[in-house]
Amino acid sequence: MTTDTEFIPGAYAPATAEPLDKIEPTPVAEIADIVERAAKAQPDWAAKTLKERQKLLNEAAQRVLERAEEIADIVSMETGKSVNEVLLNEVAGIGEYAKVAAKEARQVLKPSKVSISSVAYPGKRAVVEAVPRGVVGIIAPWNYPLSIFFKPLFPALLSGNAVVLKPSEYTPRTGQWLADRFGEVIGEDLVGVVQGGGDVGAAFVESGIDAVTFTGSVPTGKKVAARAAELLIPASVELGGKDAAIVLADCDMERTLAGIAQWSLHNCGQNCGAIERVYVEEDIADEFVRRLGALAEHIRVHPTGDHCEIGPLQNPEQRAIVEDHVQQAIEEGATLVAGGEPCGDGLGYRPTVLDHCTEDMKVMSEETFGPVIAVARVADVDEAVRRANDSPYGLNGSVWTTDIRRGEGIARRLDVGIALVNNHAIPGSMANIPWTGTKDTGTGIAASRYSYPTFVRRRTLFVDKSKKPDPWWFPFDENSRELANSLIDFSRGSLMAGLGMAGVARRRVDAIRKWVGSTKSSE
Ligand code: NDP
């Protein structure tokens, strides 16, 4: 396939360029019905205990694992990744993910008792509860068409919501398959699906959903966030990246090279958390670049069957971007160390290493989303940190060094959501670490207990067991001033306790307790 071939998203296999059966988009007029069916099914689901929901979701995850090969074949067909890669990077983690997500849910969803001063507010108690939003819309991209759903799917369902998935039109079958497995166990209306492109996505946001999580590009994410703000529904947006790695002269060269190659090239670089820029200290740059180039040349690329480590790019637009970025970098003076050309029948592209890159090159400033490592040589750490932070994105940033403590200090200077030492983007597969960024990467938090504001609202249940009217209720009378002064005194007493004057504070509390207890009888 060439990038000029007429192309219908989702209707061809990227690895072989074979046509696939067309998946019909959901008619826009039917989207609201799917959401309504989910809304009707949701209250019964929410009425179950967390333990019951967890048990059913574990069963659904179990079904995915039982049919691992089947879904791996579908993902492989739709994306071009090898079955091995899909099994390892998209399927295998679901069991652990479900387990850890449930552990997080137990923490976040448990009602929290509010501590209320029995002196200032006698007879009162309050508890803050987590209430599911209703129907959560989950809009996903094509790069990890299965596992990207896990981040919102588990917390949303564990909290008692129904969900409706909107897979990318490039990978419609994977999203449908996942929804079917969950639907078989918990009820098909609770896990709806809408299929189609941008028009369907836009209509979906309008369709009556109560919250939306969006993973995708910056321009679309901004549109979704703006519309959600108008509709006053919570939106969590996880957008693009241009991650940097800083390689220090004292790094463990062997492991650093393996780590950089892994996190740049894995998934053919189509990873929001891919290392796209490497800032390496000048002292080790020659050796680092030479060995990184050799490593890239030895990676088994599409088409080399099941053991192929890197599949093709997923779609022709993506390959056109990669080709454009690489060509422009070379024209602007970058040195091509490895790769730099297509391979295979489909949309393959060789792992590429470029040296002497500068920020005016697209490979350093725009998201490439392909198997391209842009290397820049730096004089010292300060230059590396300044240049790493000079990006519109801020997802992951990593520092590679044998001096861990120094590495932590440098990592903290990176303007990113996930700062790492000697690894990169690995928290993306963990259910209890927030996946989040800064700047154009978006404000969303995916995964972990910190993601729950999208899935639950907080409701306060406040109960008053007092037999008398509160002392500050109407009517004001001759005692009101005395009460006000006593309360002010009490406040001062509380602050004194905080300042280490507990004895004085206690005497004031005793006095006000006596006073409040003796006034405003309801009889
Ligand atoms: P897009 O923004 O093009 O699409 C994302 C999803 O939104 C797709 O399902 C798409 O449908 C849908 N969509 C398109 N238009 C609208 C609209 N107006 N309203 C609502 N939904 C709409 O992104 P890509 O699919 O191209 O994904 C690649 C991008 O995703 C990269 O920028 C990458 O960095 C980012 N990404 C970010 C991650 C993160 O966690 N930060 C993780 C993974 C990827 P359709 O595809 O059918 O057009």
Question: What pLDDT shows up at residue 478?
Answer: 85
Residue type, 431: A
Q: Which residues contact 55 (CB under 8 A, 6 or more apart)?
A: none
How many CB atoms neighbour CB 343 within 10 A? Answer: 17
Q: Which residues contact 43 (CB under 8 A, 6 or more apart)?
A: none
Delimit the CATH 3.40.309.10 region(s) of the chain: 243-431
Tokens of residue 483, six digits:
């009460």
The rounded Cα 486 to chain-centroid distance in angstroms is 50
For the whole model, what pTM was predicted?
A: 0.94
Atom number in ligand 1 closest to CA 437: 41
Choose the catalytic residue: 251, 272, 308, 357.
272
Q: For the chain, which ranges sit under pLDDT 70?
A: 1-7, 304-306, 504-505, 508, 511, 514-523
Question: What pLDDT shows up at residue 43?
Answer: 98
The rounded Cα 257 to chain-centroid distance in angstroms is 27
Region of 319 on the Ramachandran plot (φ > 0 left; ψ -120 to 50 alpha; else beta): alpha
The rounded Cα 44 to chain-centroid distance in angstroms is 28
What's the CA gap between 422 and 517, in Å, rounded?
63
Question: What pLDDT shows up at residue 2?
Answer: 45
Minimum CA distance residue for ligand 1 atom 30:
216
**162-166 and 135-139 as β-strands: parallel, antiparallel, unpaired?**
parallel
HEC string for 168-227: CCCCHHHHHHHHHHHHHHHCHHHEEECCCCHHHHHHHHCCCCCEEEEECCHHHHHHHHHH
29-239+450-459, which class in CATH?
alpha beta
Instruction: Output b/e per residue, 374-393; b: 16+ Cβ within 10 A.
Output: bbbbbeebebbbebbbebeb
Answer whether 339's CB lies under 8 Å from 373's CB: no
Catalytic residue status for 317: no
Q: Is 462 helix (H, G, I), strand (E, B) or coil?
A: strand
Region of 475 on the Ramachandran plot (φ > 0 left; ψ -120 to 50 alpha; else beta): beta
Choose the catalytic residue: 85, 90, 169, 238.
238
Atom number in ligand 1 closest to CA 240: 34
Minimum CA distance residue for ligand 1 atom 20:
201
- Token look-up 């994977």 returns 174
Question: What pLDDT shows up at residue 197?
Answer: 97
Delimit the CATH 3.40.605.10 region(s) of the chain: 29-239+450-459
- What is the CATH code of the structural domain delimited by 243-431? 3.40.309.10
Q: Is 65 helix (H, G, I), strand (E, B) or coil?
A: helix
What's the CA gap between 88 and 107, in Å, rounded?
29
CA torsion sign, 152 to 153 to 155 to 159?
Answer: positive
Rounded to the nearest angstrom, the distance between the alpha carbon of 224 and the centre of ligand 1 is 10
Tokens of residue 290, six digits:
């030479």
Question: What pLDDT shows up at residue 369?
Answer: 98
What's the CA gap between 293 and 72, in Å, rounded?
30
